[in-house]
Structures are given as C-alpha cells and as structure tokens.
Amino acid sequence: MIKSRNARLRLVLGVLLVLAAAAACTIRLPAGSEPTAAPANDYAQGSGGVNAPSQRDKPYLVLVSIDGFRWDYIDRYPTPNLQRIASNGARAERLLPVFPTLTFPNHYSIATGLYPAHHGLTGNEFPDHSRNMWYSLKNREMVEDGGFYGGQPIWVTAETQGMVSASFFWVGTEAAVNGVSPTHWRSFSKDISGAERVDQVLRWMAQPPANRPHLYTLYFEDVDDHSHWYGPDAKENIEATGRVDAWLGRLLDGIDQLPYSEQVNIIVVSDHGQGPYLNGQTPFILGDLVDLSGMTVIEGGSYLFMHFDHDDPERAAAIAATVNNSWQHGHAYTSATAPAAWVVDGNPRFPDVMLIPEQGYAVLSSAEKAGKINAGDHGWAPESPAMHGLFIASGPNVKPGVELGPVRNIDIYPLMLSILGLDAPEYIDGDPSRLSAKLYSDGENNSK
C-alpha cells in the first residue's frame, strides 16, 4: 500500500513539474480578465502551419488596423501607446486611401498593394456580373467566397513561400484566396473584445519557432463605430480612441515579454478617416430628378452608387449630365469620366454612375433614406482631408525618426515584403520607392 501511494505521489509530482516547465516557457499575458477563446479556424494549408527552414530566422510583423482612425486623432486625442510606436519609429503625416473611401476596398488595397479596379473589391457591396452574384459585407457566404478576391494578399504571399501567418480579422482572411488562407484566422465578430483579440495574437506569438507565425493582422472597429454614431469630435469617439490605444498598449507590453521581441515590427494603419456632415445642409435627393428603375442603388449619405441591371453607357452619361446640371455641392461620374487618380479603369464591378458630394454634404436616393446620414461618415472623395488615415511603424526593420508627408496605402505592401523578406508577386500597383525605400532597414544599425 505504501509502495503504491509513493508511486502515485511520484506521478503527481512529475505531472506538476511538467506543467510548471510548460508555464515557464509560456508568455505571461497582460494583467486583466482571462480571454474567452474565439471560434477556431486554424487550417494547415499554404505553409501547412510550419515555417520552411529558410523562413524561421526572418523578422516578425504585426499589422494593425484601427478602422476610421483619422490622420489627426493621434495628436488631438490622448493616445500614449500610438505615440510610443511613432516616437520609437516612423510616421507619415497622413495615409491616403483609395477610391471609394470605404472599409473593404481600402483594407484589401493595404493587403495587396493594388487599387480596387485591380483586386476586385470595388465597394462594400457590388455586383459580379460574370457570376450573376452580389457581394456584400453583410453576407457571410459572399465574404467567404474566394472568387471575389483578386490579387495576392500579404498572408497568401507569406503562406505560399513557406511562412506561417495569422489573422485576428482582416478583409479577405475569411476566404481562401487562390485556395490559400492564413494558417490561423477568425470569422469576424463584434462580440470579441479588443483585449481578447490581443491576447490571442500573443498566444500565437508564443508558439515554438517552427510553427510561430511571422505575419499577424489585427483589426479594431470601435473608433469607426463611435465616430459614425456620435461624430468625430464627440467624447464617445475620444473614449473609443483611448480604449483602442489601451489595447495596443496591452499588445506592446506582451511583445516586450517575448524572448525575441527585438525581432518584432509593428505597423499601425487605418483604412480611412471620418468627417461630420455640415449643419443645416440639405441632402441632394436623386430620385426627384432621375428615374431609378432598372438599377440597384447603394448609398451611404456621403456617396451614392448606381448599378444598372443592364449595361447602358448612354443612360449613364445622360444621368450624370442631368445631375451635374442641377447639383451645386457634388458631382456625378461615370467610369469614363471619373478622375484618373481614382483608377476605376473600366472594371465592371464599379457602379455605372457614382455620385460624390463635397465633403460634409449628403446625397440620397429619396428623402425616406435620411437614416443613412450619420453623425460622422466616410465615403467622400479620397482627396478630402477628413478621409485621410493613420500610418505609423516601429521595429528593427523600420528606420527610426523618419517623418514622411502623405503616403499612399497601396505602398504599404512593398514595405511589408521588405520587412518579411518575401518575393513580390508578378504585379502590384504599390511602388517600393515611395515608402519601402525610405523606411526599410536591415536592422543592423537600428536601436529599438
């Protein structure tokens, strides 16, 4: 009996020692409540969940998006952790979005280095006439359909070159693009707190080198939500920026605990800014002037897109001319007349007619759509200052102390390629000379 009891005691002690050793090798998460595990979507594809030997000594990159974070919030509102990243690294005066200034097109342009005309996400909602389907960010089946997504997003670039990647939300990561998804990814849910998202990223970062992702994406929607609901200058939006900044601090503190923290780079961006509507402005009501039959209208107050049931360039030109003869505070464009800088390039997923008000003004299909007008919005022309976003970066492969003027979001992709040591795909719109050449460092002469 004594012998049996001693054997059991030795077994228990052995288990405790193993658990203690495992705990010692595990990253200690920031103080706070324990996170609730998100639904797992971890697939062994692309890299197969294992870094190729040639990739294991490469740097690490965390790409963070704060949806709707306008370029000037970092200096207007208390954001000590964003300032911490910027002061240790580099920053741009502002980040220039692509057209349209909506969430899905801009996130995917950041991820691919392509304009929407070339990657295919021409809006948050749009038709794919070749398949007789409509894409919508609200339709889970469409969001997960890889056939809508063109180009080669950075996680696919990594995975196909034998580098493990992980995403806690980013446009495109829920679909298999060219048959490949990040090794680790999550289906979007607002129910998962920012702290939980950060803690999961830190758990991924605590994996052994063979399986540890080198690329991470992380997304926060709180600032966009609150600036829509209450306005960019409202206390609720200022509080939201503070919460997101605190989550970034949680991430930075966790990274600092990693034994390989000196190899970790971080880039923080936003997809677009946010602006208020002008007090007392009267929305332009399109339906009072134009017959809206035979089309689908997608509208958001700050923009209105007309998708015809059938291709009709003459009708599009006539509608645009009618609108432009009557509208004082906006302009109607067709694919043929849109500004060259918007790079519409005849992609059939773009609207037949696009109505863009001057910043602060509104357009609606009918007066009954007044609910489309929020306290704050985006969707105005990408040249509008309120539409510009955030870009800051820090880490061993980012030259410290660099302050740039405005930069284009399609130029972030070449910088990420340089940091991760990945080969570029055959075609991108982003130009390495505009950002990567100015910020990238091999790390030998940098101090953290």
The per-residue pLDDT for range 139-161, each reduced to its tens digit, is 999 999 999 999 999 999 999 99
- Looking at the 3D structure of the chain, how many domains does it have? 2
Indicate the residue among 373, 407, 428 that finishes a domain.
373
- Give the model's pLDDT for residue 42: 56
Give the pLDDT confidence of 377-421 residue by residue, as tens digits: 999 999 999 999 999 999 999 999 999 999 999 999 999 999 999
pTM over 0.75: yes
- Give the model's pLDDT for residue 41: 55
Pairwise pLDDT comparison (42 vs 341), residue with the higher score:
341
Mark whether 212 and 333 lie in a shared domain: no
Q: What is the mean pLDDT of residues 308-327?
A: 97
| pLDDT at residue 267 tops 50 | yes
Q: What is the mean pLDDT of residues 330-353?
A: 96
Mark whether 164 and 192 lie in a shared domain: yes
**Contact between residue 300 and residue 372 where contact means Cβ atoms under 8 Å apart:** yes
**Measured CA distances, 315 to 97, 254, 293, 372 (Å):** 30, 57, 12, 26
CA gap 351, 332 in Å, rounded: 11
CATH number at residue 288: 3.30.1360.180
Report if residue 96 sits inside a domain. yes
Report if residue 105 sits inside a domain. yes
Report if residue 24 sits inside a domain. no
Mark whether 268 and 299 lie in a shared domain: no
| pLDDT at residue 98 tops 50 | yes
Indicate the residue among 373, 406, 425 that finishes a domain.
373
CA-based angle 187:380:151, to the nearest 5?
Answer: 45
Domain around 254: 41-276+384-439
DSSP category for residue 27? P
| pLDDT at residue 341 tops 60 | yes
Buried/exposed code over 211-230 (b: 16+ C-beta within 10 A; e: otherwise): ebbbbbbbbbbbbbbbbbeb
How confident is the prediction for the chain on average, in pLDDT?
Answer: 91
Report if residue 97 sits inside a domain. yes
Q: What is the mean pLDDT of residues 47-58?
A: 95
- Give the model's pLDDT for residue 346: 85
| pLDDT at residue 115 tops 90 | yes
| pLDDT at residue 181 tops 80 | yes
| pLDDT at residue 445 tops 70 | no
Residue located via tokens 């052994």:
208
Q: What is the mean pLDDT of residues 412-434?
A: 98
Mark whether 180 and 221 lie in a shared domain: yes
Give the pLDDT confidence of 199-257 residue by residue, as tens digits: 999 999 999 999 999 999 999 999 999 999 999 999 999 999 999 999 999 999 999 99
CATH number at residue 252: 3.40.720.10
Of 388, 348, 378, residue with least CA distance to 116: 348
Mark whether 314 and 197 lie in a shared domain: no
At 46, is the pLDDT very low, low, confident or very high (cuts 50, 70, 90)?
Answer: confident
Buried/exposed code over 418-435 (b: 16+ C-beta within 10 A; e: otherwise): bbbbbeebeebbbebeeb
- Give the model's pLDDT for residue 280: 86
Indicate the residue among 344, 373, 402 that finishes a domain.
373
Mark whether 261 and 137 lie in a shared domain: yes
Report if residue 26 sits inside a domain. no
Q: Is the peptide bond before 30 cis (omega within 30 degrees of 0)?
A: no
Radius of gyration of the chain (CA): 24
| pLDDT at residue 40 tops 70 | no
Mark whether 224 and 297 lie in a shared domain: no
- Give the model's pLDDT for residue 47: 86
Mark whether 261 and 131 lie in a shared domain: yes
- Give the model's pLDDT for residue 273: 99
Mark whether 150 and 233 lie in a shared domain: yes
Report if residue 363 sits inside a domain. yes
Mark whether 255 and 337 lie in a shared domain: no
Report if residue 32 sits inside a domain. no
| pLDDT at residue 448 tops 70 | no
Report if residue 27 sits inside a domain. no
Mark whether 106 and 222 lie in a shared domain: yes
Mark whether 77 and 105 lie in a shared domain: yes
- Give the model's pLDDT for residue 345: 82
**Contact between residue 389 and residue 270 where contact means Cβ atoms under 8 Å apart:** yes
At 194, is the pLDDT very low, low, confident or very high (cuts 50, 70, 90)?
Answer: very high
